[in-house]
Chain A
């Protein structure tokens, strides 16, 4: 146990001691530092992302020509199941709330660590164990789970999908589900109890707000998933008939349980990236977030609405209340529209520069907008009846999820990479990776929309030559290879920055929020010194007293704010650190 104290005004010498702990492998195994755990989470989730991406490449190659026999139908089933499971359960969520949030949220609230450091470490080990168990399904005799990432009953029964692989999938989701719940509890407690003085709830950075709301959504959704998994396991092994008609059960109950988790899960995967994009847009526009409170209320509205739209995945079962779910789904477009309005307002008349994180953030806006618009189409039951389970839906959710988790996620990765490692990435490689990804993305998914409208069903390994689907599939596959290349360029970028480091300094982007007030990477227990907090962007206020943000009111930064007493550093608050520039630009 070490006692973490919060610095008062000047850097205090007794806080400058470094951690005397184990190093190397032992550090990785025993550390409870949120920064080490956050990095572990980030790297592990990126490994799963690459594995799932390679599976996608195999599937796209299989679909290049009609009646292709590159992989068997059984293996194809395993591939799309594991592609979806890895991407959704092991990459997008853990990357956001395990990796980025774990590292950034305590820094953004000025805390020494997460509220429950050992629980945080346990979350990571449960996640890693669950992930390894899920992937090692491929090593079993019957292969990995092959019932789709949604595991619909009765396809997921012991008769239809026997073997150890599906059971390992169930166990993996139990373990990673609990890992997510523990992380959710940790984030809520950290935001509620460990904020720095003056950092009221309505001064939190939008990323932290979104992570808080995401954590609450996790606490609503993941227990349902865990209980559904236990029921499914009982059906498979203990002879219960919860989801089988023959014993008086209901397969639609599985869909209700799964989607009550599954739809909030979509927003658990999207809201963190909304937060990243908000912070990135504000930083590279050199302006406060436009409509800060509107942004917060929109986030809460999206989260609340997202738990009451689950059955829009089940229109075609014919058992659901179509008007209710259709109306609720349409209503989600309103707070999302508020967010888009505010994102554009944040950039409006700002001093924009387009570094790699900003490019990815703007790319997110375009991609997610199109995904959202096709989502509004799908919210209408008559249209959904026509295109349900076609490639139209595949293209829609890839635009939404790829848009948020990859474009938004890479924006965050490039944005905070200097804070993670203390090194800069190369702008040229970063921009190249963005443009290759942006072009590859449209080339991949626009043909899939058209294929869906032509009636190509999802989850098929082969199609006949007479269908006429070949050329569009070839275009889509070419786009997928471009996506593969863009991720490779990003990995090369990280490799280059690792081998030939360019020191980042504390605040290379001239950013706004508290994580940029400490060194890169931050020391043990994070802060030697904290600037006074008088608005939602304390570091900016300290570095640019002439453009300080008046308390509670956002103005464009080129207009000098008439504040004087409130925001100017040192006036009301003792003037810690004199007139020094927090962070500085480059190497120090």
Chain B
């Protein structure tokens, strides 16, 4: 987990330096704010990963000499099929179209989105005993 965190942190440090130089040279607000956002995108998860990497159990994927037996067993539970992403996608498109053709498609889209939300939660509970 150290390498992952470091990569993000390096990006954060670079963006922070560019942000400071850019603000100092240009006094331009929009670019500085976006560079600040990019800095935080590197720093926040990067710092979290580094903090967490000291507390977690060592992982076989971080160990260059790990054997395959070290990583054997359950990886995770994965949904095999689910119709709800499709329903949510259609709902999102209908909500989006409301921005073009008037509000009448939005309620249908929100109903589909809510149905998808409930469906995903039910699905996870039913099969998510792992």
Contact = CB atoms under 8 A, between A and B. Distances in A.
Nearest to B74: A5
Interface string B103-130: 0000000000000000010011011101
A498 interface: no
B57 to A, nearest CB: 13
Nearest to A233: B99
B3 A202 contact: yes
Interface string A300-321: 1001100110110000000011
Interface residues of A, number: 85
Interface stretch (A54-62, A109-117, A360-368, A554-562): A109-117
Assign chain B's interface to a size class: 35 or more
A4 B78 CA distance: 7
B72 A8 contact: yes
B10 to A, nearest CB: 7
A198 B89 contact: no
A323 to B, nearest CB: 8
Contacts of B96: 129-130, 133, 171-172, 174-175
B73 A197 contact: no
Contacts of A118: 79, 82, 84-85, 120
A194 B75 CA distance: 8
Q: Which of A125, A551, A573 has the most CB of B within 10 A?
A: A125
Interface in A274-318: 300, 303-304, 307-308, 310-311
Closest 4 CB pairs of A and B: A125-B89, A1-B127, A197-B71, A8-B72
28 contacts: A1-B127, A3-B77, A4-B74, A5-B74, A7-B68, A7-B72, A9-B69, A27-B81, A113-B78, A117-B79, A118-B82, A121-B86, A122-B88, A124-B85, A124-B89, A126-B89, A126-B93, A129-B96, A130-B96, A167-B99, A197-B63, A198-B67, A200-B61, A201-B7, A223-B37, A224-B37, A311-B31, A572-B65
Interface of B: 1, 3-4, 7-8, 10-11, 14-15, 18, 21-22, 25-26, 28, 30-31, 34-35, 37-38, 41, 49, 60-86, 88-90, 92-93, 96-97, 99-101, 120, 123-124, 126-128, 130
Given A125-B88, A573-B68, 18 more contacts: A19-B80, A21-B80, A29-B83, A30-B86, A32-B80, A117-B78, A118-B79, A120-B85, A125-B85, A128-B89, A133-B93, A168-B100, A253-B30, A300-B10, A324-B25, A530-B68, A534-B64, A574-B67
